[in-house]
Chain A
Amino acid sequence: MSLVNYLVLSGILFSIGSIAVLTRRNAIIAFMGVELMLNAANLTLVTFGRLHGDLHGQVIAFFVMVVAAAEVVIGLAIIVSIFRTRGSASIDDANLLKS
């Protein structure tokens, strides 16, 4: 086994997350897909950090985690406020700017 296995796993997780973002209509599920993509990227950073014997990868993964936490808070607040005003958590219903 080599460290490439981790990278392949991270590629699989990233693809699953992005397929979920593109195909699921429920905003909360699509958002969980975004989280999975961020985590897959983190796994790549940590694996390459170990490959090169360098801690910078871990530090960047740490900052990604912080930014992802902030993004989740804001994103979920937006989903909740849209749900309150429109009574739906579906992505397709949020077309106020279009119609």
Chain B
Amino acid sequence: MNAALEISTGEAVLFWVLAPLMVAGALSLLFAKRPVHIAVSIAGVMIGLAVMYIMLEAPFLGVAQIVVYTGAVMMLFLFVIMLAGVDSSESLVETIKGQRGIAVVGLLGLLILVITVLTRASLPPAVGLAQANADTNPVGVARLIFGDYIFAFELTAALLITAALGALVLSHRRRLSPKVGQAELAEAKLAAYGKGGSAEGVTPPAGPGVYARHNSADMPALDAAGNPIDDSVVTVLRVRGQEAETADLDADRVARIATGAPMVPELDGAERADRAELDEQAETTKENEE
């Protein structure tokens, strides 16, 4: 038998730093309102537990705890909270009268009982895992898992496959109506239009932007009468009030567009001569090649 385990001061300090943090995180289960806050707090508790496992000479379990709980389980919880209950308000109506009070009193009693038993029990002197972890902790754990517990280990393989299949079956939803694709949607719109419905949906909605220099997404399109079409601007910009007004445009430019004059600047005399010369040169080279 080894000498009694000595717990270092460092471990004690780490314990007293971690333990209150973990209890505070766990208390969010009782007092926090939003499920997301609770899930993140519990993820913190799981990380604290992982550190404690490593303190307790179980580094393999500590790493597995981080991978399985904070990495997979709590993220799955967050995923489901986003799917199902992110804004669900909790009803405070008690289905069984006085159930809350009884639960709290009963479990506080359990807590006091557990603490009393633990502190008054005469436990054997702590041995520590220095001998068991002689070939590093993962090797020691692996010898047990693949030795004494090999049957249980194989059963967990079957359990995990069953759980994965079960999750697939439970979350599978049978389609009650045929799937509406792009082609079916277009046919339905045209059929509605043919029966005297509105042309909306048959013609594409106007895109944003009016003029060559102002085709940005915040500029509403203009209809035939010259009024801006609000729907042509992205909803987000409209909600934020970031949509541009026709008045924001250069007034001269608007007037010029209204006259129907070409928007490409006119060439002056010298430039026109240059252009003609270039054209001639191009023609002669082409003839020479032929």
Contacts and interface: CB of A to CB of B under 8 A. Distances in A.
Contact of A72 (B76, B128, B132): B76
A21 to B, nearest CB: 9
Contact of A32 (B15, B64, B77, B103): B77
Interface in A13-69: 13-20, 22-29, 31-33, 35-36, 39, 42-43, 46-47, 49-56, 58-59, 61-63, 65-69
Nearest to A27: B85
Contacts of A62: 60-61, 64, 141, 145
B28 to A, nearest CB: 9
A63 B93 CA distance: 38
Given A29-B29, A29-B38, A83-B84, A76 B77 contact: yes
Given A39-B46, A76-B80, A52 B127 contact: yes
Contacts of B163: 69-71, 73-74
A58 B141 CA distance: 7
B123 interface: yes
Interface of A: prevailing SS: helix
A58 B143 CA distance: 12
B260 to A, nearest CB: 59
A90 to B, nearest CB: 6
Interface stretch (B106-114, B175-183, B191-199, B250-258): B106-114
B170 interface: yes
B231 interface: no
Contact of A39 (B69, B84, B91, B114): B69
B239 interface: no
Interface of B: prevailing SS: helix
A81 B172 CA distance: 9
Given A1-B7, A5-B15, A36 B144 contact: no
Contacts of A50: 5, 56-58, 126-129
B103 A22 contact: yes
B107 A26 contact: no
A55 to B, nearest CB: 5
Contact of A89 (B11, B60, B85, B118): B85
Contacts, number: 238
A20 B83 CA distance: 22
B73 to A, nearest CB: 5
Given A15-B111, A22-B99, A53 B129 contact: yes
Instruction: Give the bracket for the number of chain A residues in contact with chain B.
Output: 35 or more
Contact of A8 (B22, B61, B118, B167): B118
B30 interface: yes
A59 B68 contact: no
Contact of A13 (B5, B45, B131): B45
Contacts of A65: 61, 64-65, 68-69
B159 interface: yes
Given A4-B118, A32-B42, A78 B170 contact: yes
B76 A58 contact: no
B158 to A, nearest CB: 10
Interface of A: 1-9, 11-20, 22-29, 31-33, 35-36, 39, 42-43, 46-47, 49-56, 58-59, 61-63, 65-74, 76-81, 83-84, 88-90, 92
14 contacts: A9-B22, A24-B30, A29-B35, A32-B29, A32-B77, A50-B127, A59-B145, A59-B149, A62-B64, A67-B156, A70-B162, A71-B163, A72-B76, A74-B167
The 6 closest A-B pairs by CB, nearest first: A53-B127, A70-B163, A22-B103, A77-B170, A89-B85, A11-B114
